[in-house]
Amino acid sequence: MITLRVYILALLAFGLTLPDLFKNTHAAQCVACHTSSNHELNEKHRFESQPCVTCHLGNEASDDKSSAHLGLIASPGNLSNIDKTCAGCHPEHAKGVLSSAMHTGRNIVRTTRQVLEPDTHQGSGGSFQTLGQGIADSMMRKLCASCHLGHDRKPHQTDAVKDRGGGCLACHLNTLPDDKHPALIRKVEDGRCFGCHSRSGRISLSYAGLAEVDSKATVVPSGKHARLADGRLLHREIPDVHHKAGMACIDCHTGTGLMGLNSTEKTHGIDIRCNDCHANSNPRLAVAAWPEQYKFMLERIPYKPDAGQSFLQTSSGTPLVHIEGRADGLLLHPKLGGKPIRIPQLGESHMPLSAEHKTLSCDSCHAGWVPTCLGCHMSYDEKGKQWDHTLQRFSTGAWRERRWGSGAGAAALGKLDADTIGVFLPGMIMSLDHPDLDGTRFIRRFAAISPHTTGAARTCKSCHQSSTALGLGKGRLGYKGNVLEFQAEMAPLVDGLPADAWTSLDQSVPASEQAYPRPFTAPEIERLYRARDVDNGE
């Protein structure tokens, strides 16, 4: 049994005073053994103002270890515990996170099911939490579902490549010191995003100017190459202009969007758009009219506002408190620190032929490059064993993946919807073998993406005269007499299209099986190619 004298000396040794002790007797019972636990927490989570059990549960009144730890939750941020822990103080955020795309993976699930098993899952939704045992679901259980917030945090890892899962802690826990309670942070660093977003669309890699490339070499090539801790080889490309300016992920992505507080089928949880900084026409927000749910943001304004200061807000109403409106323009104050960054505003002449180009997304002109993967072969071994990310254990059945053609290249353009042209990359150019299939199935699917490789606007020629941009793949495009012809660089695959293509000039071949998103049709390609003559392609 710990004596009162030893107890008090321990508290004093770690900066706690007797008033602190008697301010919350129950909390002090915990710190009697966990003597350094008070340190590093931010003010609102300090143990002397809130009992340890608010987050960790257990029995705060006991000084017996086994009794005190009864019902203890070591990682309170895990979504399996969220209703007992974080939701007590943050109910709306907890509700939003549980339904967010970062937890459910609903977009990945829907697309994978529709592509791999269109007859079974046509139009179906689903989530990582409801995966079954079909071909698509089995593949996601074994290969994809590690990247979602619902995985419990088990070993404490801060390696940005390996660190995934943990619910709220996936973002709000950064360092894990051996001798102190870890700090809970709201200024989420880019490394918290990297574990998941360096895969699939590879947004975290692209933003930093890194492209994953093919290699089985054990030695990293000299020059512009590096290798991640998990063995993937990278090549250095041009980073996003926002990254070069010193901006972090959270400088654009708001908590409202990230935690699913405004998530709809249309927004997909994205709260901010390019125009919100560069051409914001939304009503300015005065402090006197501050929305009640965002009152907490007032203390986060990183500069001293004038009495009549007004603030930008996103289309969904999220105040952008880190953007300062001044008489001479807008300044962004980086949330992770650093010098303010002047935000360029779009003028009337920012886009030539604006009427003709009104359907272009910002990325259509400003995406510098996209990650590419031009082939993979997936096969299923029904006798093998592989880790199941849903069951969190090894189970029967193993997927084997072999891929090639990884690198970086120019983006393909296509129709996001009837009114918008956007950026696409090869998402699935795949041959699939499974015992339930009658032979090998070939799949070709390009995916819409905001690649986070923003730079100077591309030239007219790089769209209107580029076979890659028009979806045909690399090759020679031009007129032979009055007929537009294309000679591909890459050999055709089993569907007759070149390996890097999305569509063709053969009008008898449908450009896509779906209405939208889709590639350009042959007539659309010819019309776009003819437009090159407007300004000689410059």
Residue 24's pLDDT is: 46
Q: Within 10 A of 376 (CB to CB), how many other CB atoms are there?
A: 17
**Backbone region of residue 79 per phi and psi (left: phi > 0; alpha: psi in -120 to 50; beta: other values):** alpha
Distance CA 73, CA 70 (A): 9
171 within a domain of the structure (yes/no): yes
386 within a domain of the structure (yes/no): no
Residues 240 and 263 placed together within one structural domain of the fold: no
Q: 287, 320, 335 — which closes off a domain?
A: 335
Residues 97 and 233 placed together within one structural domain of the fold: yes
Distance CA 228, CA 240 (A): 20
Residues 169 and 232 placed together within one structural domain of the fold: yes
Residues 288 and 154 placed together within one structural domain of the fold: no
Distance CA 455, CA 367 (A): 6
Residue 447's pLDDT is: 93
468 within a domain of the structure (yes/no): yes
Residues 111 and 126 placed together within one structural domain of the fold: yes
Residue 365's nearest CA partner among 469, 517, 521, 238 is 469
Q: 3-state DSSP call for residue 326? A: strand
Residue 78's pLDDT is: 92
Q: 335, 367, 383 — which closes off a domain?
A: 335
Distance CA 505, CA 224 (A): 37
Low-confidence residues of the chain: pLDDT under 70: 1-28, 36-43, 46-51, 121-124, 154-160, 263-269, 507-514, 532-538
Q: 210, 229, 244 — which closes off a domain?
A: 244
Phi, psi (rounded to 5 degrees) for 252: -105, -45
180 within a domain of the structure (yes/no): yes
Residue 511's pLDDT is: 58
435 within a domain of the structure (yes/no): no
Residue 332's pLDDT is: 97
Residues 38 and 132 placed together within one structural domain of the fold: no
437 within a domain of the structure (yes/no): no
352 within a domain of the structure (yes/no): no
Contact 6, 13 (CB under 8 A): no
Phi, psi (rounded to 5 degrees) for 97: -65, -40
381 within a domain of the structure (yes/no): no
Q: What is the 3-state secondary structure (H, E, C) of 119-170?
A: HHHCCCCCCHHHCCCCHHHHHHHHHHCCCCCCCCCCCCCCCCCCCCCCCCHH
* Range(s) of the domain holding residue 314: 249-335
Residue 506's pLDDT is: 87
Question: What is the maximum alpha-carbon separation in the chain?
Answer: 98
Counting the structural domains of the chain, the total is 4
CB within 8 Å of 471: residues ≥ 6 apart: 412, 413, 414, 424, 446, 501, 502, 503, 519, 520, 525
Residues 97 and 182 placed together within one structural domain of the fold: yes
Residues 55 and 137 placed together within one structural domain of the fold: no
Residue 48's nearest CA partner among 27, 69, 64, 32 is 27
Residue 466's nearest CA partner among 502, 515, 512, 491 is 502
Residues 133 and 260 placed together within one structural domain of the fold: no
Q: Label residue 436 exposed, middle or buried (CB < 10 Å: 0-12, 13-18, 19+).
A: exposed
Residues 226 and 265 placed together within one structural domain of the fold: no
CA distances from 204 to 35, 110, 258, 269, 473 (A): 38, 23, 15, 17, 25
Residue 49's pLDDT is: 58
Residues 233 and 319 placed together within one structural domain of the fold: no
**Residue 518 pairs with which residues in a beta bridge?**
415
Residues 317 and 211 placed together within one structural domain of the fold: no
